Amino acid sequence: MLDFKKLPLDAQLTALLDGETTPEQKHELEQRLATDDGARRLYDKMRNGADFGRHRLEDVLKEPVPLALVRSIKSVQPPKAPLAPRSARPSLKLAPTGRQSLAAAIILLIAGCGIGYFAANSRDSASSQQVTETSGSTNQWLTDVVAYQRLISRQPRHLVEVPAFQAEEISSWLTSTVGVAFRIPDLVASGWTFQGARVVLGDGRPVGQLIYTSSDGDIATICFRKDGQPDDTEDFRETIHDEIGLVTWHNAGTSYVLVGPSSEASLGQLAMQIATAL
């Protein structure tokens, strides 16, 4: 008889999952699972795989048989074989022994766990890939821009890194850092006064920010970055993130967004004016 302790760990854990261990063996395995992280991870994967395989089998068994298949089976008539005279041969019973039945059950369980384990790993890998692709989407930089807008709105005394009177410094600094040539729009006639500029990161890329304020204390920011997107990107699209409104557009491989208070009804018109001035 095989020594249970000499069996591979996965075989011992399979016996534990099947309830085929003695109380002493179960106690030793539970103690090991409580202290051995590797064994615990293997046990969890085997248990999840077994559950996944069992549920999948139940789902398959619940699926209805197509009517066309039933009709095709009924339409097939097996050939009639000539009746052979019965002989006096003794009948041979092919019933499996108890050990054969146990071995077959163990093999089927291990196969089911393996199928479930690999299916679960494939599902986890697909989920990880989907999360990675989503996090790298082009909309991530807009989330970062909104976060920066909320940050500077809470510290009005520290809005900019370079003040407005250093316009030449702002132009050369942002052009070399972001890689986008631009002109600072004059929005005084629209009620917005230029205060200065910042450089931040949006989705891991440098983003230039031109910051304006109104007489009411509101803050509007023109943000731009290089992205290499095609020129047929939808222009002047307005969205709202809680109290912050955004108008996005694209031109010559550069993405732009005007960020301001969502209560400002003229953000779309202001964005068109800015696009012409830039």
Q: Output the DSSP codes for 74-105.
A: HH--PPPPPPPPP--PPP---PPPHHHHHHHH
Is residue 33 within 8 A of residue 4, CB to CB? The reply is no
- Give the pLDDT of residue 166: 94
Pairwise pLDDT comparison (46 vs 86), residue with the higher score: 46
Q: How far apart are CA 161 and CA 100, in angstroms?
A: 79
The letter for the amino acid at 152 is: I
Pairwise pLDDT comparison (62 vs 210), residue with the higher score: 210
- Give the pLDDT of residue 49: 76
Each residue of 120-151: b (16+ CB within 10 Å) or e? beeeeeeeeeeeeeeeeeeeebbebbbebbee
Is the pTM for the entire model greater than 0.75? Answer: no
User: Sheet holding 192-202: strands in order across?
Assistant: 162-163, 192-202, 205-214, 219-226, 254-261, 244-251, 237-241
pLDDT at residue 161 above 80? yes
Pairwise pLDDT comparison (90 vs 197), residue with the higher score: 197
Q: How far apart are CA 180 and CA 172, in angstroms?
A: 10
Pairwise pLDDT comparison (210 vs 153), residue with the higher score: 210
Q: How far apart are CA 221 and CA 50, in angstroms?
A: 55
Lowest mean pLDDT among 130-134, 163-167, 168-172: 130-134
